[in-house]
Amino acid sequence: MRHLDVVAMFGSLWLLASMVIDVATPKELTVYMAGAAIAPATAISALLYWLRVPRLDFAVSFATLWLVSVMLLELITPKPLSPLMPIIAFVPLVIVGIVINVQRWRRSRLRSIPVP
């Protein structure tokens, strides 16, 4: 049953992301072009989720795949995308980086507290 759940969840996310990208980008970039551009990233993310990759590794992989997908969208679109697209591409990477550094900082603070 888990196979069907993963397929349904990531298929729905892929379709939703394709439609959002279609609405948010110029008319020259169709939903079919966006869907084809993000399909490999979605499939790889689904595979990593199904293999139960640790959360932090999954988050880093997902953020990297998202960045590659946005770069691919920029390459295939006939008209330049919004100047906000680089920001949208880097936001997941920044969030993952912040989470990693906060976790490391919290662990180092816990180790430095003396136990009575």
Range of the domain at 54: 2-112
Closest CA to 11 of 49, 43, 33: 43
**pLDDT tens digit sequence for 83-105:** 888 888 889 899 999 999 998 99
pTM above 0.75, yes or no: yes
Which tops the pLDDT comparison, 82 or 23? Answer: 23
- Is 69's pLDDT higher than 80? yes
Domain count for the chain, please give it. 1
- CA angle in degrees (0–180, nearest 5) for 28-62-52: 140
Q: Which residue has the tokens 């399909």?
A: 39
